Amino acid sequence: MDLTMLRSQFPALAQSNNGYPLCYLDTAATSQKPQQVIDAMNHYYHFDNANVHRAAHLLSARATTQYEAVRDKLCQFIQARRREEIIFTHGTTEAINIVANGLTSQLKLGDLILIDAAAHHANIVPWQELAKRTGAIIKPIPLTTDCRLDSAAFDTLLLEKPAIVALGHVSNVLGTVNPVSNLVAKAKQVGAITLVDGAQAIAHMSVDVQDIDCDFYVFSGHKMYGPTGIGVLYGRFALLDSLSPLMTGGEMIKTVSFSGTEFNQLPNRLEAGTPPIAEVIGLGAAIDFIDAQPKAQVSAAEQTLLIYLQDSLKALGDVVLYGAHSDNLGAVAFNLAAEHHQDVGILLDQQGIAVRCGHHCAMPLMQSLQLNGCCRASIGIYTNKADIDNFITAMQSVKELLL
């Protein structure tokens, strides 16, 4: 794998920041975009700009063909059984809201919803709102002291026969990986509906939803080298078809009259309004980009780099790492002694280093770690050893300044 050639495909990486070469270690927040994604979206706007599914003219036909081709690519990309199980959304957040809203009529007072204690807010708040509407009860699945999901506690909670189990595939803060196939299998044994948030997993591993056997799997395009504003909801067809639509209006209808409305079939029934057409096309280009890479080499290179990042931070001294395991993916959470994470982030930015600081939309996790927040360095397919070395050099200067 020619990493220099690969990096050259990401124009944003060529810039400098404060006179330093940009060291982008915030891929978990949003990935940079390769030129072919940018070109695909520009091509649509230059030559094929029209609405989909609505007109008989050439531009609309071309736009519709490109748009629906991405649904087929996604079906193969995550190994869905049929294309109708792929729903385009505006992101992971909307995808989970569609599911949580759509299950309202299927829950009753006292039903239990289990949520991964390290979950992103997008996989917590929609379930809280569902609980308010239905009288359901929410319980977190706790973590062990080393920040992994507590499997023994999970088994105990399953004795209460939860109606819904919502899991993260990979923690957006820590990079820890949940054994979702095993967890889903256990949840199915007690009849639970399962949803897996794959936003942080989709760019770092091959995802097979049939192997995971979950009822729903969700992710965002902008975490996998695609554009913002586009996400994917995969659902097992029968369950997906049972969801009440979150949004109604154009595109999702079959017939409308003032005496009543009949909704369309999947996938249209859950895709109300004009869709993010350019973004879908950009996502298709991102899938092409990922599929063109040597997956085994990319995975091995990322894992080697992540361990190097963990080890380099440990070697600095006075750095606390959270949930740092050799089988993590994509991200390292840390703090510099007792220094405020925002101060560390600002000082790093002054040296061209881009990291994320704060609670990372995971305040319950921060509370369990007894933290107000932390820093997070995260890598992508374009990250190289020089990025890590530049980051560590900058961290050393921050340490000398603050401690």
Residue 115: strand pairing partners: 140, 166
Q: CA-based Rg of the chain, rounded to a whole angstrom?
A: 22
Contact 202, 233 (CB under 8 A): no
Separation between Cα atoms, residue 165 and residue 184, nearest integer Å: 8
Closest residue by Cα to residue 358 from 385, 335, 329? 335
- How many other CB atoms sit within 10 Å of the CB of residue 188? 15
DSSP string covering 261-296, please? EEE--TTGGG--SS--HHHHHHHHHHHHHHHTS-HH
Pairing outcome for strands 319-322 and 356-358: unpaired
Identified catalytic residue from 357, 361, 374, 375: 361
Which tokens in the block code for residue 82? 């049929």
Contact 182, 357 (CB under 8 A): no
The residues, ordered by sequence, that sit 6+ positions from 4 with a Cβ below 8 Å of its Cβ are: none
Closest residue by Cα to residue 68 from 55, 56, 80, 86? 86
| Three-state secondary-structure class, residue 133 | helix
To the query of whether residue 361 is one of the catalytic residues in this protein, the response is yes
Contact 310, 369 (CB under 8 A): no
Contact 190, 114 (CB under 8 A): no
**236-242, long-range: CB within 8 Å, 24+ apart, which pairs?**
236/85, 237/81, 237/82, 237/84, 237/85, 237/266, 239/193, 239/215, 240/84, 240/85, 240/87, 240/216, 240/266, 240/270, 241/266, 241/269, 242/102, 242/106
Length of the chain: 403
The residue type found at 309 is L
Catalytic sites, residue numbers: 361
